[in-house]
Amino acid sequence: MDEIKKIEQKIRKAVKNQGNYSKDLELCITMAAGSFRAFMLALHDVGQLSETFVSEVSREGNVRLVPHPAFRVLKDAQEMVRRSLRELGLTLGTLSTDEDDPFDRMMKDVEGVDSE
């Protein structure tokens, strides 16, 4: 829960910097922070995978390869973050970053996934 509170503070600061903050936005800020935390967890899970697929056995006993469910979770979490930030009038680019900031770490993680 501590991580979500830090993310909420960062989002709240960004909204205030844009001059759009209102106490009425607190629920949206909390939802955006939760979505971002879910995204970070999904990103971590995907980072631990060695393959993009899993084997499933059909009712008939046939083995087939299907996309790993973690990729679906990551995609859904990304969309939730995007929508939550958009409701607040933010993008990841509008958020200021500190050295040890969750958004900065996320961007580094995402960039690191591409280079591996």
pLDDT band, residue 105 (cuts 50/70/90) = low
Task: Write the pLDDT tens digit of every residue in 51-103.
Answer: 999 999 999 999 999 999 999 999 999 999 999 999 999 876 666 545 556 66
pLDDT band, residue 2 (cuts 50/70/90) = confident
Neighbours of 98 (CB within 10 A): 10
Six-digit token string for 109: 């993680």
CA–CA gap between residue 83 and residue 32 (Å, rounded)? 8
State residue 46's pLDDT score.
94
- Answer for the pair 32, 94: CB distance below 8 angstroms, yes or no: no
State residue 98's pLDDT score.
52
Residue 90 or 106, more confident: 90
Domain assignments of the chain as residue spans, ordered by start: 2-97
